[in-house]
Amino acid sequence: MIAALVLLWTAVLGAASPSPPRLRFSFQELQAQHGLRTFRLARTCCYEALLVDEERGRLFVGAENHVASLSLDNISKRAKKLAWPAPVEWREECNWAGKDIGTECMNFVKLLHAYNRSHVLACGTGAFHPTCAFLEVGHRPEEPVLRLDPRRLEDGKGKSPYDPRHRAASVLVGEELYSGVAADLMGRDFTIFRSLGQRPSLRTEPHDSRWLNENKIREWR
């Protein structure tokens, strides 16, 4: 009996030639064969900020003029969408400065961090007026919440870039935010900021790229 099972197993292995591993799949293949689910916000773009919140079972997404809260189980269901455009006066000022009102003078959300058990910190370009907000996201995964109090907006300079084309990197350590970002409108002064928390805000020396290339970072922290 054992010999027969061994022969059968050998025959099966011999008949099934292993296929080489796939490193790439087309979007159409993923949709057809792998149960791919998609989500898209109407009339928006630039999904640059992503925050996975396993405790609430949510995926927070920052985009142009919007923040979305999606279910980790199925992003196409129980989605919450929050419109967060730049104020009209900021858009007009941005346009007067020579920027394109349709592609640049928007609020591109660049940063999302879990701040505490009930709020997420979000920062965006604000039509070249960087701004931040604490979004209420609730406590329990079965009752997803996504709210913004327009009266509690904060200055986003040193947290989000001015220009939507510029990237930013950040990490939240306790209640302190460390951000690597362009600190000026022209994108010439890239620096590291420490903000929020109880200690005074601090930044690396203006226009001194050695701060990003030498060992001064450890001394500064």
Mean pLDDT to the nearest integer, 155-162: 90
Residue 62 and residue 110 in contact, taking contact as beta carbons nearer than 8 Å:
yes
- Asked whether residue 181 carries a pLDDT value surpassing 80, the answer given is yes
Mean pLDDT to the nearest integer, 69-82: 84
Mean pLDDT to the nearest integer, 150-177: 88
Residue 82 and residue 106 in contact, taking contact as beta carbons nearer than 8 Å:
no
More confidently predicted of 182 and 141: 182
- Asked whether residue 117 carries a pLDDT value surpassing 90, the answer given is no
The 3-class secondary structure across 172-184, one letter per residue, is EECCEEEEEEECC
% of the chain at pLDDT higher than 90 = 31
User: Per-residue pLDDT tens for 119-131?
Assistant: 999 999 999 999 9
More confidently predicted of 160 and 200: 160
Distance CA 115, CA 117 (A): 7
- Asked whether residue 6 carries a pLDDT value surpassing 50, the answer given is no
Tell me the average pLDDT of the chain. 80
More confidently predicted of 44 and 115: 115
Residue 113 and residue 130 in contact, taking contact as beta carbons nearer than 8 Å:
no
Positive or negative torsion for Cα 165, 182, 64, 173:
positive
Query: Which domains can be identified in the chain, with CATH numbers?
Result: 42-216 (2.130.10.10)
Distance CA 38, CA 58 (A): 15
